[in-house]
Chain A
Amino acid sequence: GAGVSQSPSNKVTEKGKDVELRCDPISGHTALYWYRQRLGQGLEFLIYFQGNSAPDKSGLPSDRFSAERTGESVSTLTIQRTQQEDSAVYLCASSSGPSRFFGPGTRLTVL
């Protein structure tokens, strides 16, 4: 497709389980971002990939969070030992310039 896609669209998990979220960026976009939006809060930057450079992980809230990206393609965000405060919509965006294009997000609910 022409846009950024994310899967799954919804994920319900139990506290303590690991989850993996996937993002397919727009083809040719060298930059990829992960954001989180918790209920009633703004968009929170998590991690940024630019080409083959080392990713900017400064927004990751804890070492339970990690992300990978292979080249300029798919990225996965992994949350280990999920906690209830991890419940949020996780948004992925890609760009080839200053403006970024967002995916529809993955709504994560940790019970």
Chain B
Amino acid sequence: DQQVKQNSPSLSVQEGRISILNCDYTNSMFDYFLWYKKYPAEGPTFLISISSIKDKNEDGRFTVFLNKSAKHLSLHIVPSQPGDSAVYFCAASGGTGNQFYFGTGTSLTVIP
């Protein structure tokens, strides 16, 4: 059962515009969320996180929004750059363990 879902397998955005990547989760016990970026042939790299006590966290061009009632989080990249082209995974954790549940990823292509 997929507890973290990224329903858009791919997204194309023009350079300079906003990229919005979405993630939905089913487990109300999740209280910490991460976004990872992955380039081909490389391991994932941590991008930004948010805990459930906040609804927004911003780091430079990257902002993560959390809507707990809707069990939805999104990653906004503004402005998008060609180097942002990668697969983006969201991950969620909660309860007693450190186990993270990952979505299936969204492949972002930023068109120059």
Contacts and interface: CB of A to CB of B under 8 A. Distances in A.
Interface of A: 4, 31, 33, 35, 41-45, 48, 50, 56, 58-59, 91, 93, 95, 98-105
Given A102-B43, A103-B43, A50 B98 contact: yes
- A interface, over-half SS: strand
Contacts of B100: 33, 45, 100
Interface residues of B, number: 23
B91 to A, nearest CB: 8
Contacts of B62: none
Contacts of B46: 99-101
A42 B45 contact: no
30 contacts: A4-B43, A31-B98, A41-B104, A42-B89, A42-B105, A43-B89, A45-B99, A45-B100, A45-B101, A48-B97, A48-B98, A50-B98, A56-B99, A58-B99, A59-B99, A91-B43, A91-B44, A95-B98, A98-B32, A98-B93, A98-B98, A99-B34, A99-B46, A99-B49, A100-B46, A101-B46, A102-B45, A103-B43, A104-B41, A104-B43
